[in-house]
Structure 1
Amino acid sequence: MTAWFASWGLTYEAAWLVATIVGILAIALPLMLAVAMIIYADRKIWAAIALRRGPNVVGPFGLLQSFADGLKVFLQETIIPSGANRGLFLIAPIITFTVALMAWAVIPFQAGVVLANINVGLLYILAISSLGVYGVVISGWASNSKYPFFSALRAAAQMISYEVSIGFILISVVLYAGSFNLSVITLAQKGNILGIFSANGLNPLLFPISVMFLISSMAETARAPFDLTEAESELVAGYQTEYSSMSFALFWLGEYANVILMCALNAILFWGGWLPPVDWAPLYAVPGIIWLFAKILLFFFIFSWVKATVPRYRYDQLMRLGWKVFLPISLFWVCLVSGWLMLTRYS
């Protein structure tokens, strides 16, 4: 894209800047539209499971309900509690929203279609996902209210608990693919070298940790049954209790952008990303971005299905699952995968 803008007579620096801005907008704007429609899909899935109708009044089939809700919060007044730290209170939702968008810079939508194809893309994702909790922690502390503060403490402990096991799970993926680059990891899955579901069936070494990664990604994004940071039966609305108007909307946008990101990572790391589910030549006629979006929607359906059917964990159960189950299993799996590769690939 830089070369195309340079052909217009721009200098290389100016062409690179324009190309980067266009690339950012090409990801951010459709993502915001996708978040609006994903919220609609979320509510429809919950309604179907509970034998209700869900949104069906605003627009055809209720498709405009999310936009009506967005307009409603946009027109509301932003209320700041008198005892809150005003600066931190306002910057917290901005951090959550911005960090959620930053992670998409290294997501490959198709071969060569990625904003920043860096060699440490997976480490970048880990770093950005770790920063996301700062918005929750800052909002809980700056609100100067007990329930949001408890929510901030829970968010910090929850992030630490599941980041460790996620890190060990990703080490196993990196050992198999031999790279931190997400495009290389995707291409390494072609022909059942890494992919779980392919022409030759399940990969027994990676399937168990793919299930662990799916559960950990729900905990990392504080989705049910791990939404202890927003447990309304205990903490009113958690860190969002004192927020209204667009500040509240930014939290929602950031949360759903993170959920879609985790769905994309599940698809890219374990299920072939933009590659077709079976290594069969006719399937490659379908554009890779269609396969990626189909897999993202499948994982989002699983996220919504779990939220609508599984009751919320107690906090001690959440900690026990992270530290006493996932951490030792993921650490053992690193040893298992590395030992298997030493015997088969590098012997």
Structure 2
Amino acid sequence: MTLSEIVVRAVCVLVAFLVLPLLVGQTEHKVMAHMQGRLGPMEAGGFHGWAQLVADGIKFSQKEDIVPLAADKRVFRLAPALGIVAYLLALAVIPFGPGFYGATVPASLVFLLAVTGFGTVGTLMAGWSSGNKYALLGGLRSAAQLVSYELPLILTCASFAIAAGSLSLTGILHAWSPWWLLWQLPGAVVLVVAATAELQRPPFDMPVADSELVMGPYTEYTGLRFALFLLAEYAGIVVMSLLLSVLYLGGWHGPFPGTVGWLWTLLKGFVIAVLIIWVRVAWPRLREDQLQRVAWLGLVPIALFQLALTAVVVVVMNR
């Protein structure tokens, strides 16, 4: 790969990273406005509230950047950037179409899972470094949630890797067939739920729980630093939606995969992103004990069942 190709791919990944999370954020405003009858997001800027996201950006940029006296200032300032960097690296290895991806990584599925898990460390750092008891409790909840939901997420991804015989996202897409929509369905359900919990989105937002912990790990953050956490959340929705699109829905496979394969990947990912947003509006927040019960008594057994089923099917088909 020449230097010019590397630069072009890096620029494309950066543009996608800057645009797609903002589109998800705008979509969330509109979906919540329609489902909950909110008038504000439908009015800003005129036609269908197109400027709501711009107004939010201006609001955050005007707020004072405050660092508490009791905070570990270096860690406090570094925490918002971790999620951004982690999801940027994850987006770089997602194949949008044949040969249409930012970076070539042999075991790209393992790489993606590693860097997205690392992004959650930013939340732990925010809770620990803030010098605030509510932030610390939110950080501890975030750590417990990360441990609980990372396991079913990895087990489900392992099922897709075994079915394809590859740890590469591109290899999984080349092995994908419509038959997966049926026998990998339990794993897809686990992946959606575990990804939503990994992103700490409602109804799995116990680390934040504004009615209990003010704003959890983000209590002491203001202005653009707080906006970076929101951007990382939307970037996480993009990455997880595209991951499910690749693993379960076939990514670029569609009626015209050779010409607009990247469009099918984006459309499938957008549908999953809307599903994650819809869950936020439709479901109430779980209690902490319910959150752990869903992971260990619900998702883990289903993920293990899917893993065993995949192993049996692969052995039988290879005889």
TM-score scaled by length of structure 1: 0.88
For residues 313 and 176 of structure 2, the distance between their equivalents in structure 1, rounded to whole angstroms, comes to 17
1:39-58 equivalences in 2 (<5 Å): 39-53=25-39, 54-58=41-45
Q: Would you say 1:121 and 2:117 are equivalent positions?
A: no
Tell me how far apart the structure 2 counterparts of residues 147 and 254 of structure 1 sit (CA, whole Å).
21
Aligned to 1:313: 286
Contact 2:199 2:233 in 1 (8 A): yes
Q: Distance in 1 between matches of 2:109 and 2:21?
A: 23
Once residues 329 and 294 of structure 1 are traced to their aligned partners in structure 2, the CA distance between those partners, rounded to angstroms, is 28
Secondary structure at the aligned position of 1:230 is classed as: coil
Rg: which structure is higher?
Answer: 1
Distance in 2, Cα, partners of 1:165 & 1:66 = 34
Cα distance in 1 for partners of 2:229, 2:133 equals: 19
Equivalent in the alignment of 2:217: 239
Contact map agreement 2:12 2:102 (CA 8 A) in 1: no
Q: 1:245 to 1:51 in 2, by over 3 A?
A: closer
Q: Given the alignment of the two structures, is residue 33 of structure 1 paired with residue 19 of structure 2, yes or no?
A: yes
The one of 197, 200, 206 equivalent to 1:222 is 200
1:323 Cα deviation from its structure 2 partner: 1.1
Residue 346 of structure 1 aligns with which residue?
318
Cα 1:180–1:304, aligned 2, differ >3 Å: closer, same or farther?
Answer: same
1:254 alignment partner, one of 232, 244, 248:
232
Does 136-145 or 95-104 show the bigger shift?
A: 95-104
Cα deviation 1:275-315 (Å, max 9, x = unaligned): 11xxx5xx447501111111111111111111111001111
Q: Select the residue among 87, 90, 93 that pairs with 1:106.
A: 93
Give 5+ residue unaligned stretches, structure 1.
4-14, 197-202
What is the Cα-based RMSD across aligned positions, in Å?
Answer: 1.6
Deviates more, 1:75-84 or 1:51-60: 51-60
Q: Which amino acid aligns with 1:24?
A: A
Q: Which residue of 1 aligns with 2:185?
A: 207
Preserved CA contact (<8 Å) 2:164 2:172: yes
Deviation of residue 19 (structure 1)? Answer: 3.4
Cα distance in 2 between the residues matched to 1:165 and 1:289? 28
Shift of 1:57: 2.0
Superposition deviation, residue 61 in structure 1: 2.4
Query: Helix, strand or coil for the counterpart of 1:77?
Result: coil
Cα distance in 2 for partners of 1:284, 1:169 equals 26
SS at match of 2:207: helix
Higher relative contact order (CA 8 A, sep 6+): 2
Query: Which residue in the other structure is 1:137 paired with?
Result: 124
- Report how many aligned residue pairs link the two structures: 318
Alignment gaps of 5+ in structure 2: none
**C-alpha separation between the residues in 1 aligned to 2:295 and 2:218?**
25
Q: 1:271 aligns with which of 232, 238, 249?
A: 249
Could you tell me how far apart the structure 2 residues matched to 1:249 and 1:300 are? 20
- What is residue 157 of structure 2 aligned with on the other side? 170
**2:48 aligns to what?**
61
Match of 2:59 among 66, 69, 72: 72
- Tell me, yes or no, if the aligned pair for 1:37 and 1:66 is still in contact at 8 Å: no
The answer on whether the counterparts of 1:120 and 1:181 sit within 8 Å (CA) in structure 2 is yes
Q: Does the Cα contact within 8 Å between 2:127 and 2:137 map onto a contact in 1?
A: yes
Deviates more, 1:76-85 or 1:44-53: 44-53
Q: Which residue of 2 aligns with 1:150?
A: 137
C-alpha separation in 2, matches of 1:24 and 1:155: 31
Q: What's the CA shift for 1:103?
A: 0.8
Work out the CA distance in 1 between the residues paired with 2:234 and 2:103: 22
- What is aligned with 1:296? 269
Q: Does 1:186 align with 2:173?
A: yes
Q: Which residue of 2 aligns with 1:8?
A: none
Could you tell me how far apart the structure 1 residues matched to 2:61 and 2:44 are?
Answer: 20
Cα 1:55–1:316 shift into 2, 3 Å: same
For the Cα contact (< 8 Å) 1:189–1:272, is it kept in 2?
Answer: yes
Partners of 2:209 and 2:216 within 8 A in 1 = yes
Whether the 8 Å CA contact 2:82–2:122 is kept in 1: the answer is yes
Aligned-residue identity in percent: 32
Give the match for residue 20 of structure 1: 6
